[in-house]
Amino acid sequence: MLERRLYLHLATWLGQWPAGPGLHVVGSWRRTRPAWDGRLRPAIAVRVAGSTVLSVPPRRVEAVRALAARSRSALHEALPAMVGQPGWVVHDDVFRWCLTPPALPDVGGWTAPTDPALPPWLHLFDSDVLVVRDDDGGYLAGVGIKRHDAYGHELAVGTVPAARGRGLARRLVAQAARRVLDEGAVPTYRHDPANLGSARVAEAAGFPDRGWSSCGVYPP
């Protein structure tokens, strides 16, 4: 059942899932409309076991396929311009998901993202965020939920430097993952491959590295 949520999320988010070996360029209207934060995501790809599904705007599919057939290496550099954003960049991530969050104690409380005491990155979210505060009400750590579609909700976490090393991030992520599962979706988590701290948080919160990766075209 939970694996089906992942399948439905990827099929909805990308426009096709699964796919056979090799690169599969598919079109999706989602690449032409604002995402969860009101910003475009003109190209998104997910890779696993030698298979990649690259989702682009429908009218860009043929051109991207043609370049990919000529040179996969050239595609990486040219992709932003090919999807209409020549000044943007391609960013790679580890792609993780969670089916059974560990029973870590809850540590945060849900609050509106408009709370002026929160850092600016949490103001981007369109639903409640999960926050840990100090005894004076100051922000220590928080998680926002990127509701990509009805089936897949991606978690993003941040902790102030002074509060790191206390296990707040992993407890917040596990707590938020349980809420996502209760809502009927599968929680996902993406991070830069070089971000070892984020990788440790993900592992401790029940998001193992299964060898999956993703990439997207984003503002620099």
Residue 154 and residue 115 share a domain: yes
pLDDT 10s digits, 18-53:
999 999 999 999 999 999 999 999 999 999 999 999
**114 and 86 in a common domain:** no
In a domain, 212, yes or no: no
Considering the domain boundaries, does residue 216 fall inside one?
no
Instruction: Among 47, 73, 97, give the residue marking a domain's end.
Output: 97
Measure Cα distances from 160 to 10, 82, 118, 146, 168 in Å. 32, 37, 11, 20, 10
Same domain flag for 50 and 10: yes
Q: Which residue in 110, 207, 213 sits closest to 155, CA to CA?
A: 207
Domain boundary among 69, 97, 125: 97
Q: Which residues pair with 26 in a beta bridge?
A: 55
Q: Give me the number of domains the chain comprises.
A: 2
What's residue 2's pLDDT?
66
For residues 116 and 88, membership in a common domain is answered with no
Residues 139 and 195 in one domain: yes
pLDDT at 25: 98
40 occurs within a structural domain: yes
pLDDT band at residue 72 under the 50/70/90 scheme? confident
Print the domain residue range for 36. 2-97
Q: Is residue 159 assigned to a domain?
A: yes
Do 22 and 90 have their domain in common? Answer: yes
Residue count (the chain): 220
pLDDT tens-place string over residues 128-179: 999 999 999 999 999 999 999 999 999 999 999 999 999 999 999 999 999 9
**Distance from C-alpha of 120 to C-alpha of 115, rounded to nearest angstrom:** 10
pLDDT band at 84 (very low <50, low <70, confident <90, very high): very high
Which one has a higher pLDDT value, 3 or 154?
154
Domain for residue 102, yes or no? Answer: no
pLDDT at 86 over 90: yes
Structure tokens given for 79: 């992709």
Average pLDDT along the chain: 96
> 83 pLDDT exceeds 90?
yes
Residue 218 lies in a domain: no
Check whether 95 has a pLDDT greater than 90. yes
Q: Is residue 213 part of a domain?
A: no
